[in-house]
């Protein structure tokens, strides 16, 4: 049975606290909370660096049954190595502990940089290296670098399929041969909306659909209005049922591979403002007839009972956002007033109006050292001539002391 999962890209964003997360929720409980509202989250940290096996095991334990993670492949492979000489880096990634997610391990996302142009041979070689199940992933991971000894997780609890998706950011990929290549390997071409900055095509190349919504008007920032979410809901319904939407924009006019139903994974990544993604995700879920979760008291730990469970991106959520912004704006003047008042209080202690430096109580209690003037003044001597006579004339030198004789018997006169 096909499933539709709507989620977010990442979960740890400071401005979400007090809006999406209850204000008194501990930071360590944020994943626990978010995973009980949304059914899937994309792990972004794996893109920037290899995570550790214990981190994946902890994330597995903190999320409820039925929850799914998507993992973003390392940029070291896609952006730095640019898909060249990547056998060992892929092994390191697979050995870093992703298998500790067990049945919660979803698709693996590979995002190519905007400067990466379509190269069929290089893409073909890359796709050949990707394992298609968990047993194959464990075998490839065994070829990891020696420096990873002691920080690997390769145990497989059960044989499962592995799915892969590729996100493109260069127009050269709008090539029918690229679409056919992905279809041959059952790799999903990510449907990515990027405010028209990078190409977006609706070609379906696998038995599942992977979507990333970065913003329709402003990249990573703009929220989605009601009409935009209605359009995406209609498309998702078509793709999920094995069909194609009427407004599909494709590179290949040929119909997509037939399927009775397709799993759909959709992630909101409009997180630069850090306020809209979780609310847009919940609104889209409702338009699809899905119900966002409501975290239990146990899941929220110390969450305030007066805090409403997040679940609306309509007027209520907008009121929350505006109220939070107003509170932040009011907090700044209060801090500056306190600083100015403290400065005036220190200045009042000095008759000239200057600010008296702060001295700690500990430093004030210590007696100050008394510096005594020398009893005899040094006798200046005439400086030696040098290349910089102007500077040398200002120098004062101490008279040379008589050479000290070494202790011991007097030396015999020479014959």
> Which pLDDT band, with edges at 50, 70 and 90, does 275 fall under?
confident
Q: Is residue 102 a part of any domain in this protein?
A: yes
| Average pLDDT estimate for 77-83 | 98
CATH of the domain at 77: 3.20.20.410
Q: Is residue 97 part of a domain?
A: yes
Q: Provide the domain count of the chain.
A: 1
pLDDT at residue 400 tops 80: no
Label residue 332 by pLDDT band (50, 70, 90): very low
- The reported pLDDT for the residue numbered 215 is 77
pLDDT tens digits for range 219-262: 666 678 899 999 999 999 999 999 999 999 999 988 887 668 99
Residue 397 lies in a domain: no
- 372 part of a folded domain: no
Distance CA 144, CA 171 (A): 34
Are 32 and 290 in contact, with CB atoms under 8 Å apart?
no
DSSP state of 385: P
Q: Which of 164-178, 239-253, 333-347 holds the top average pLDDT?
A: 164-178
Q: Which residues of 18-53 are buried (b: 16+ CB within 10 A; e: fewer)?
A: bbbbbeebeeebbbbbbbbbbbbbbbbebbeebbeb
Q: Which range, of 5-9, 85-89, 274-278, 289-293, averages the lowest pLDDT?
A: 274-278
Does residue 201 lie in a domain region? yes
pLDDT for 317 equals 42
Mean confidence (pLDDT) of the chain: 79
The domain containing residue 83 runs over which residues? 4-300+310-325
Which residues, at least 6 apart from 235, have a Cβ–Cβ distance to it below 8 Å?
A: 202, 245, 247, 248
What is the rounded CA–CA span in Å between residue 183 and residue 257? 8
Instruction: Tell me if 194 is assigned to some domain.
Output: yes
- Burial status of residue 57 (CB atoms within 10 A of its CB: 0-12, 13-18, 19 or more): middle
Mean pLDDT computed over 9-23:
92
List residues bridging with 69 in a β-sheet: 41, 105
Confidence of residue 345 (pLDDT cuts 50, 70, 90): low
From the list 273, 161, 281, 275, the residue with the least C-alpha distance to 211 is 281
- Summarize pLDDT for 374-388 with one digit per residue, the tens: 444 444 444 444 444
> Would you state the pLDDT for residue 110?
98
Residue 332, in any domain of the structure:
no
Compute the distance between CA of residue 133 and CA of residue 266 in angstroms, rounded to an integer.
22
**Where is pLDDT greater, at 177 or 308?**
177
Establish if 402 belongs to a structural domain.
no
Instruction: Name the pTM for this structure.
Output: 0.72
Res 271 pLDDT > 80: no
Taking only the tens place, the pLDDT of each residue in 198-224 is 899 999 999 999 999 987 666 666 678
User: Alpha-carbon distance 295 to 303, whole Å?
Assistant: 10
């Amino acid at each position: 049975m096909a499933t539709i999962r709507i989620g977010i890209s990442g979960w740890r964003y400071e401005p979400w606290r007090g809006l999406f997360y209850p204000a008194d929720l501990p930071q360590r409980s944020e994943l626990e909370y978010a995973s009980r509202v949304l059914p899937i989250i994309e792990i972004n940290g794996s893109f920037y660096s290899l995570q550790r096996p214990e981190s994946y095991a902890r994330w597995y334990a903190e999320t409820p049954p039925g929850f799914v993670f998507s993992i973003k492949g390392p940029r070291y492979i896609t952006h730095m190595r640019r898909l060249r000489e990547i056998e060992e880096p892929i092994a390191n990634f697979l050995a870093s502990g992703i298998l500790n997610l067990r049945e919660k391990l979803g698709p693996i996302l590979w995002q190519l940089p905007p400067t990466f142009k379509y190269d069929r041979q290089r893409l073909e070689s890359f796709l050949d290296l990707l394992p298609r199940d968990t047993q194959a992933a464990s075998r490839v991971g065994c070829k990891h670098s020696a420096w990873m000894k002691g920080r690997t997780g390769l145990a497989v609890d059960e044989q499962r399929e592995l799915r892969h998706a590729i996100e493109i950011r260069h127009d050269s990929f709008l090539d029918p041969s690229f679409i056919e290549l992905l279809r041959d390997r059952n790799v999903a071409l990510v449907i990515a909306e990027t405010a028209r900055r990078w190409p977006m095509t609706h070609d379906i190349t696998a038995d599942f659909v992977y979507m990333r919504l970065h913003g329709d008007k402003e990249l990573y920032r703009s929220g989605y209005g009601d009409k935009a979410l209605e359009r995406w809901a209609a498309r998702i319904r078509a793709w999920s049922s094995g069909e194609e939407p009427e407004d599909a924009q494709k590179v290949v006019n040929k119909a997509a591979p037939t399927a009775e139903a397709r799993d759909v994974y959709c992630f909101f990544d409009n997180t630069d403002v850090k306020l809209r993604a979780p609310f847009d995700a919940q609104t889209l879920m409702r338009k699809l007839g899905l119900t966002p979760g409501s975290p239990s008291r146990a899941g929220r730990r110390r969450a305030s009972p007066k805090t409403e469970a997040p679940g609306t991106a309509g007027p209520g959520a907008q009121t929350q956002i505006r109220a939070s912004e107003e509170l932040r704006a009011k907090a700044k003047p209060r801090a500056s007033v306190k600083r100015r008042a403290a400065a005036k209080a220190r200045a009042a202690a000095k008759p000239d109006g200057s600010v008296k430096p702060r001295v700690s109580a500990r430093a004030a209690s210590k007696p100050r050292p008394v510096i005594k003037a020398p009893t005899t003044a040094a006798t200046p001597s005439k400086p030696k001539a040098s290349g910089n006579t102007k500077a040398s004339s200002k120098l004062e030198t101490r008279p040379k002391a008589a050479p000290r004789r070494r202790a011991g018997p007097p030396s015999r006169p020479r014959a």
